[in-house]
Structure 1
Amino acid sequence: MIILSWNCRGLGHTRAVPNLRELVRAHRPTVIFLYETLTHSQKIEEVKISLGFDGAFSIDREGRSGGIAALWKYSDHYTVIGYSRNHIDLKITEPGQEDWRLTGYYGFPEQRRRREAWNLLKAVTRISQLPWCIIGDFNDILDSSEKHGEVERPIWMIQGFRETVMQCLLQDIQMKVHPFTWEKGRGNTHFVEEKLDRALASTAWMARFPEASVLNTVATCSDHSPLILVNDAPKTKISRISFRFENRWMEEEGFNEVVHDRWGLTETYSTITERLKALSNELTRWSRKHAIIDRKPIDNLKESLERMRSNSDHQSVVQVEEMKLKLNRMMIKNYMYWKQRAKQFWLKEGDLNTKFFHSMEMHLMKQ
């Protein structure tokens, strides 16, 4: 299972949904937790449908702050067993497997509410004895090394959070790539980074998923990094995608030559069936290079941002900001292309609320 956890700082921002869509495309999560959504349940429902997810549960914002949401696929696997303005607690039920708990958590950001946040974490711990994993924005650090720049955190805050984690019998799950998940003031003398986001788990959960790890990735519209929790070793999947001919290929340069050359191999393929199979395989290979929106520049930019996120010199800061703007334009352009295409299908094939439209949205996400 793959879980995405992200303090998105507002889903109403024009860059938020394209960023979220790109994260889903790149990592294929089955569960998403979002914090500081700054929106209401109707918006979460729209996001759920557009991403092709089956279920959602959300807590609306209060005034101009807050908001937390969970989205998931395979509705019969998930049950909401508890929630507050700061957490959503799920029970995971998979066929032939022992049940376990997954919690999305958002700690109070105010320093004066640290003890309140720790007490909430202790209370959530006592809800169930199932193997447990909790992921989110804790707004706390476990060690002074988890903060870089400006004034150090008070010792009582670090010690208080560490003692709470120990009392809850939780342990930190290994984080890959970059050690900090939140930043402020990059490029100036007040630049600061902290590991405010993390995943913690009980001993029983770690015993069940010993190879679990957290990937600290990038987004362009929040000061928090999205976290990708993979709770087991990746499994090789065999793809069995049926061939589908698209009319738009006939408008692409080189299409006629591909068909002519492959169909003309009469000495290699003696039957119509063999020719059709060879032609479909060749068109599939050709289409991946010549007849789709090129995602490679997006992936290359994301990799460059990953490499440069630890640099804080002036030249690097300028480059990072330029790269973020460029990546953002590319993701929005990509998002608008598929959104427009989905609407074109709707105009031709049916109503916006039909099963057809929902399935088409999911199909487009997988391309």
Structure 2
Amino acid sequence: MSCIIWNCRGLRNQRAVQELVDLVQVKAPLLMFLAETWADQARLNYVKDRIRFDQKFFVERINKGGGLALFWRDGIEVDVETSSLNHIDVTINKSIEKPWRFTSFYGELETQRRFESWDLLRHLHRQISIPWLCAEDFNKITKQSEKSSGRLRPSNQMQQFRETLDECGFMDLGFMGFPFTWSKHWQNGFSLWERLERVVASKEWLMSFPDTKSQNHFGSICKELDLKKKELARYERLVLQGGNATRLLAIQKDINSLMDKEERMWRQRSRSLYLKDGDRITRFFHCRATIRKRRNNISGIKDRLDQWCTQTDQIASVFEEYYKELFTSANPESVPIALSSIP
């Protein structure tokens, strides 16, 4: 069974909804959890229809922020056990053989309230003793290597998170893809990257689903690139009216950097995405495979006379002649003399 777990950071933007639709088409999940929806019930109903899911459960946003939503298809049985502003706890296939538990979790944003998140995890741990999967945005790293640049995180805060995971019997499933799930960038060029989202599971859950893989889909780069392009268009108009071009050059540099990151992200994604329970031919996979084939293709080569060869038989002939010459002995006569000099 395929699941999507994503901190979408707002569904009011049509671009975010379209990105979600594209992701669902590629992954074909039966279950999907979204954090920070920033959406009301009407908007979530619209999203459910767009992604063609059958059922939903949601936790109301607070003012314009927060909000959790769980969507699923009729192909699985989902029973909601408990929920709060920070979690939705459900049992999957409760009346069927091998039920398991899924908790979609969203950690407290404020550091001084982070202990409330850990207390909630411990409380949930004591409730139901069946195979347990827990995932999403814990808003905390477990070690310094999960953070790039910026101040070091206090070791006691990371230790508290690790101890909570240990008490709950959780093991980190790791991930495939981009190493960070959250980023922030400043105008002075400084960037901060962290891995705040993860998937953890109990030993019993891992024994029941030993072939499970977790992949990081990091979409904020696309959003940032879109915003930067809009900002660039605005500053281009200002410069045409006689404004200073310093900021324009800085934005162009940021866009080039984001485009490089986006290219790396899609390259990683195209090589690591997989579909369980049978492959599906999609426009995305076909496009990426075509691009990779084109990149690996040799369209021309120069021969020993420095002539450019583009025909398939000519290219093959150049390779054949090169390797024949490379591996054909020249029958040297001075081999005994050379060998006698070796001690």
Q: Tell me how far 1:233 sits from its aligned partner.
A: 8.9
- Describe the superposition over 1:149-197 as per-residue Cα deviations: whole angstroms up to 9, x where unpaired: 1101111110010011001110100211222111111885521111100
Aligned to 2:278: 236
Structure 1 94/222 Cα, relative in aligned 2: closer, same or farther at 3 Å?
farther
Question: Match of 2:136, as an amino acid?
Answer: G
SS of 1:130's equivalent? coil
Aligned to 1:152: 152
- 2:182 and 2:287 mapped to 1: Cα distance? 22
Tell me whether 1:131 sits opposite 2:131 in the alignment.
yes
SS of 1:213's equivalent? coil
Higher alpha-carbon Rg: 2
Structure 1 13/208 Cα, relative in aligned 2: closer, same or farther at 3 Å?
same
Q: Tell me how far 1:298 sits from its aligned partner.
A: 7.0
- Describe the superposition over 1:255-308 as per-residue Cα deviations: whole angstroms up to 9, x where unpaired: xxxxxxxxxxxxxxxxxxxxxxxxxxxxxxxxx9xxxx96579758999xxxxx
Structure 1 96/69 Cα, relative in aligned 2: closer, same or farther at 3 Å?
closer
Tell me whether 1:221 sits opposite 2:263 in the alignment.
no
SS of 1:103's equivalent? strand
Q: Tell me how far 1:65 sits from its aligned partner.
A: 1.2
Aligned to 1:70: 70
Structure 1 222/124 Cα, relative in aligned 2: closer, same or farther at 3 Å?
farther
Aligned to 1:329: none
Aligned to 2:104: 104
Alignment gaps of 5+ in structure 1: 240-287, 304-367
Structure 1 27/102 Cα, relative in aligned 2: closer, same or farther at 3 Å?
same
- 2:147 and 2:61 mapped to 1: Cα distance? 29
The TM-score, its normalising length taken from structure 2, stands at 0.65
- 1:302 and 1:66 mapped to 2: Cα distance? 39
- Describe the superposition over 1:208-259 as per-residue Cα deviations: whole angstroms up to 9, x where unpaired: 1111111112322379x9xx9x9x993336x8xxxxxxxxxxxxxxxxxxxx
Structure 1 203/296 Cα, relative in aligned 2: closer, same or farther at 3 Å?
closer
SS of 1:221's equivalent? helix
- 1:200 and 1:163 mapped to 2: Cα distance? 14
Aligned to 2:40: 40
- 2:224 and 2:114 mapped to 1: Cα distance? 23
Of the two structures, which has the highest relative contact order with CA contacts closer than 8 Å and spacing of 6 or more? 1
- 1:152 and 1:189 mapped to 2: Cα distance? 19
SS of 1:156's equivalent? helix
Tell me whether 1:209 sits opposite 2:251 in the alignment.
no
- 1:46 and 1:234 mapped to 2: Cα distance? 27
Aligned to 1:266: none
Q: State how 1:296-307 maps to structure 2 within 5 Å.
A: 299=288
- 2:99 and 2:175 mapped to 1: Cα distance? 25
Structure 1 118/58 Cα, relative in aligned 2: closer, same or farther at 3 Å?
same
The TM-score, its normalising length taken from structure 1, stands at 0.61
- 2:51 and 2:275 mapped to 1: Cα distance? 25
Q: Percent identical across equivalent pairs?
A: 33
Question: Match of 2:49, as an amino acid?
Answer: I
- 2:60 and 2:187 mapped to 1: Cα distance? 35
Aligned to 1:53: 53
- Describe the superposition over 1:25-61 as per-residue Cα deviations: whole angstroms up to 9, x where unpaired: 1111111101111111221122112211111000111
Contact 2:30 2:75 in 1 (8 A): no
- Root-mean-square deviation (Å): 3.1
Structure 1 233/63 Cα, relative in aligned 2: closer, same or farther at 3 Å?
closer
Aligned to 2:7: 7
Q: Tell me how far 1:102 sits from its aligned partner.
A: 0.9
Q: Tell me how far 1:15 sits from its aligned partner.
A: 1.2
Count the aligned residue pairs: 245
SS of 2:159's equivalent? helix
Alignment gaps of 5+ in structure 2: 226-264, 293-343
Aligned to 1:79: 79
Q: Tell me how far 1:107 sits from its aligned partner.
A: 0.5
Contact 1:55 1:75 in 2 (8 A): no
Contact 1:147 1:194 in 2 (8 A): yes
Question: Match of 1:168, as an amino acid?
Answer: C
Q: Tell me how far 1:120 sits from its aligned partner.
A: 1.2
Question: Match of 1:198, as an amino acid?
Answer: R
Q: Tell me how far 1:17 sits from its aligned partner.
A: 0.4
- 1:77 and 1:296 mapped to 2: Cα distance? 30
- Describe the superposition over 1:302-359 as per-residue Cα deviations: whole angstroms up to 9, x where unpaired: 99xxxxxxxxxxxxxxxxxxxxxxxxxxxxxxxxxxxxxxxxxxxxxxxxxxxxxxxx
Contact 1:142 1:158 in 2 (8 A): yes
Question: Match of 1:221, as an amino acid?
Answer: K
- 1:78 and 1:110 mapped to 2: Cα distance? 31
- 1:133 and 1:49 mapped to 2: Cα distance? 27
Q: State how 1:240-259 maps to structure 2 within 5 Å.
A: none
Q: Tell me how far 1:94 sits from its aligned partner.
A: 7.4
- 1:191 and 1:58 mapped to 2: Cα distance? 33
